[in-house]
Copies of this chain bind each other. A is one copy, B any other.
């Protein structure tokens, strides 16, 4: 299996290294050969090649079986013009690889529950999957420009979807729900937006093909409330790009384990991409304090989703849980006053646990 590794900026480099060494341990234990090829993206690519997403990187991703991405961005590049910002690299790679769906499982970890801003009884046992449309809507619609009306300055952005794009993501959400608790919450703003009315109708149509899955519709403002009031209500939540950007980030802080949440971006026709939810955290770069777990669990998602290696994926997840339960925690998830371990130690412990667990 060939894997493109794009470490990116800031702590992206540290955590990507962690995923690679954990995958090597998996290869060793289960007898697989993974080939890693590195590519540049984000600020580092801007510095070296003058673009946040070089053509070589796109080519590399297209010919790989899966892509692992660290994180991009940092203050150094924030003042550059728009097309030269690190996040443009992110948006472009989504389009180039047709990564139409972003999957973010958010689940409760007993080992980090104390870090949650929510009361334990509210969050305990929560387990949801946020499915966000990733290549349409306000992010890519045209026109997106400054204009004039009656001689006055004005500005316009466009929320555009083909019905087939809506159908594709909703169908994926139903397929994923079939493997989980069989409930889809489709989030829209159908009382205001025409695009949401099409979204809702399409959800009803797709639902007919999945008689075992329960479909409910929820308005986006209500969803923003229910995620906090009653996170256990949700199984699979599916929504369009901008709503998904907001709600998936909201969901990610509920369990107090932001540094532990992985994600997968699903391509319609090629390699899927796996990345942690957290950013490049330039303030802690190189300090050996970043939490590598989100990136390592993203690698586990890759094993399962891209390669069908269920046992191997579970081996990674189990090792992570064991290490956390043994009390080894990076600073972001440790209890106040408790000892912490560094990025490198955490990676080593997870690796060692994977190998130790070999029957």
Chain A residues engaging chain B, CB cutoff 8 angstroms: 82, 85, 87, 91, 116-119, 122, 138-139, 141, 144-146, 149, 152-164, 189, 191-195, 197-198, 220-222, 224-225, 227-229, 242-243, 245-250, 252-254, 258
Q: How far apart are A141's CB and chain B's nearest CB, in angstroms?
A: 7
Q: How far apart are A7's CB and chain B's nearest CB, in angstroms?
A: 21
Given contacts A156-B158, A228-B228, A229-B117, contact A220 B193 (CB under 8 A): no
User: Which residue of B118, B153, B249 contacts A221 across the interface (Cβ within 8 Å)?
Assistant: B249
Chain B residue numbers with a CB within 8 Å of A156 are 141, 158-160, 194-195
Chain B residue numbers with a CB within 8 Å of A161 are 154-155
A228–B117 touching, CB < 8 Å: yes
Given contacts A149-B162, A242-B189, A250-B250, contact A195 B228 (CB under 8 A): no
Bound state CA distance, A145 and B158, in angstroms? 12
Chain B residue numbers with a CB within 8 Å of A155 are 160-161, 163, 194-195, 197-198
Q: How far apart are A302's CB and chain B's nearest CB, in angstroms?
A: 24
* Additional 18 contacts, C-beta under 8 A, given A225-B249, A229-B253: A82-B197, A118-B118, A139-B192, A153-B162, A153-B198, A154-B162, A154-B163, A155-B195, A221-B246, A222-B249, A225-B250, A225-B258, A228-B228, A228-B253, A228-B254, A243-B246, A246-B246, A250-B250
B195–A157 touching, CB < 8 Å: yes
B246–A220 touching, CB < 8 Å: yes
Q: How far apart are A240's CB and chain B's nearest CB, in angstroms?
A: 10
Given contacts A119-B117, A250-B250, contact A154 B144 (CB under 8 A): no
Chain B residue numbers with a CB within 8 Å of A122 are 117
Chain B residue numbers with a CB within 8 Å of A189 are 242, 245
Chain B residue numbers with a CB within 8 Å of A227 are 250
Q: How far apart are A16's CB and chain B's nearest CB, in angstroms?
A: 22
Chain B residue numbers with a CB within 8 Å of A248 are 221
| Chain B residue with the shortest CB-CB distance to A220 | B246
A152–B164 touching, CB < 8 Å: yes
Given contacts A91-B192, A138-B193, A228-B253, contact A162 B157 (CB under 8 A): no
Bound state CA distance, A141 and B220, in angstroms? 19
Given contacts A224-B250, A228-B228, A246-B224, contact A159 B159 (CB under 8 A): yes
B146–A152 touching, CB < 8 Å: no
Q: How far apart are A299's CB and chain B's nearest CB, in angstroms?
A: 24
User: Which residue of B85, B119, B146, B224 contacts A119 across the interface (Cβ within 8 Å)?
Assistant: B119
Bound state CA distance, A196 and B242, in angstroms? 13
Bound state CA distance, A153 and B225, in angstroms? 32
- Of A117, A158, A222, most buried by chain B (CB within 10 Å of CB) is A117
22 contacts between A and B (CB under 8 A): A82-B197, A138-B159, A146-B194, A152-B163, A153-B162, A153-B164, A153-B198, A154-B160, A154-B162, A154-B163, A155-B195, A156-B194, A157-B159, A157-B194, A157-B195, A158-B158, A220-B245, A221-B246, A221-B248, A224-B246, A228-B228, A246-B246
